[in-house]
Amino acid sequence: MSRLLIRNGRILDPSQDLDAELDCLVEDGRVVRIEPKLVEDGAEILDAEGAWVAPGLIDLHCHLREPGQEYKEDLASGGMAAVAGGFTQLACMANTDPVNDDPSVTKYILDRAAKDSPTKIRPIAAATRGLEGQVMTEMMALREAGAIAFSDDGATIMDSSVMRRVFEYSTLAAAPVIVHAEDCHLRGGGVVNEGPVSTRLGLPGNPVAAEELMVARDIRLAKLTGAHLHIAHVSSAGSVELIRRAREEGVRVTAEVTPHHLTLTDEATMTFDTNTRVAPPLRSASDLRVLRNALAEGVIDVMATDHAPHAVYEKEVEFTAAPPGMLGLETALAVTLDLFRDGTLTPIEFVRRWSTNPAQLFRLEGGSLRPGSPADIVLINPDHEWTYDAGQGFSKSRNSPWTGQRMKGRAAATIVDGRLVYHHDRGVLIR
């Protein structure tokens, strides 16, 4: 029987509305007791030194590139980056090579993850074969193989009749459909937010309308079919409005927002740094304000990184040729703690959006420290100051706009199934 006692921490468990200085006892991979001043002999002691003690972060949106693009990242390196960032569970997208549109690929990912990844990995399978937006995948078989949701992320299903059938069928599989909402014709060759910044930069613009059009369409279709629509990386104020109204009408729509859309505007692209090229693009200051408020209000339910590694030689090219995307796992805490620092979110609400809500939305284990829950726990030190060097991180890639910057806030330790897998003094602990 292995036991771990976490003491001197501030317990933050949104599932129990608990915010208190308590000790936490873990036994055989499960939380067993949360009480003041626990004394347990024989347990390994982990001194939290005042850190927040919360259910581990759950990322509903990341790209781990295995199978097929292991030069950018794989389940091992992505898993290590995850635990270093405080994540105990990841949902990885299907745009691998081959695409995860077949149970064999889903099983492959789960097998490899079990061997190589210190964090739990839940595959998201494709909604259409090959991500081509034409023919539905075998959602039942994929579900059975372990897929937790369906998404063509990276691409948008442009044919509305196909999108409708995907939504309808998804209700049979009882799984959410995650959409990357972007009308590819309206977007055209757009690489930055269409507005004063794109005009100054002379780069093709991607108007908010491209996203809002698809958000509106998908909400209608979700309403029509009763499906659970989850909107990935919401970036515009207009989209937030559409989601708010849809909620009022009772549509089953949930939404996520990324750390970069919560903290960076299109002004960040003025240096032509390709690490600021993302899809959807960074938007205006007023969009950013609306997103932050929406997250606080609950119109947006969760934060998700959209961790998208790319090789150096793929990014060090002219702006329009660089693939969109930036890293996110290792900087997510430091960047989003900004919302705690400016009072937008209290600590428990912060944790709710990174852990409890993701678990509830996608019906995953985790997100709670209720006795009996799996011991997926993160110790967060919101005041720890450090300098982020993407070249020295656990991810194989380096495409982050924050590299070289001073950050505040970090995971002090990460525990998966009761086992300490990351400690900031000792690094990632391989089993």
Chain residues binding other proteins by CB under 8 A are 194-196, 198-203, 205, 207, 271-272, 312-313, 316-321, 404
Nearer Cβ to other proteins (237/351):
237
Q: Give me the phi and psi of 406, to 5 degrees please.
A: -80, 130
Shortest approach of other proteins to residue 211 CB, angstroms? 15
d(CA 182, CA 425) in angstroms, rounded, equals 42
Nearer Cβ to other proteins (100/198):
198
Shortest approach of other proteins to residue 319 CB, angstroms? 5
d(CA 293, CA 395) in angstroms, rounded, equals 31
Contacts of 263 (CB under 8 A, 6+ apart): 288, 335, 336, 338
Shortest approach of other proteins to residue 263 CB, angstroms? 21
Shortest approach of other proteins to residue 252 CB, angstroms? 34
Nearer Cβ to other proteins (75/326):
326
Which of 73, 63, 62, 55 is closest to 16 using CA atoms? 55
Shortest approach of other proteins to residue 277 CB, angstroms? 10
Nearer Cβ to other proteins (123/207):
207
What's the token pair of residue 187? 């977007």
Nearer Cβ to other proteins (113/192):
192
Asked if 229 and 242 touch (Cβ cutoff 8 Å), the reply is no
Shortest approach of other proteins to residue 152 CB, angstroms? 25
Shortest approach of other proteins to residue 288 CB, angstroms? 17
Nearer Cβ to other proteins (114/270):
270
Catalytic residue IDs: 306
d(CA 127, CA 165) in angstroms, rounded, equals 10
Helix, strand, or coil (residue 50): coil
Sequential DSSP letters for 383-431: EEEEE--GGGSSSS----TTTT-EEEEEEEEEEETTEEEEETTTEE---
Give the Å distances, CA to CA, from 44 to 4, 25, 49, 62, 67: 5, 10, 15, 33, 37
DSSP 1: -
Strands (E), 212-350: 229-231, 253-257, 302-303
d(CA 380, CA 378) in angstroms, rounded, equals 6
Helix, strand, or coil (residue 95): coil
Asked if 304 and 353 touch (Cβ cutoff 8 Å), the reply is no
Nearer Cβ to other proteins (32/201):
201
- Helix residue ranges per DSSP H, 311-361: 312-315, 332-336, 338-341, 347-351, 357-361
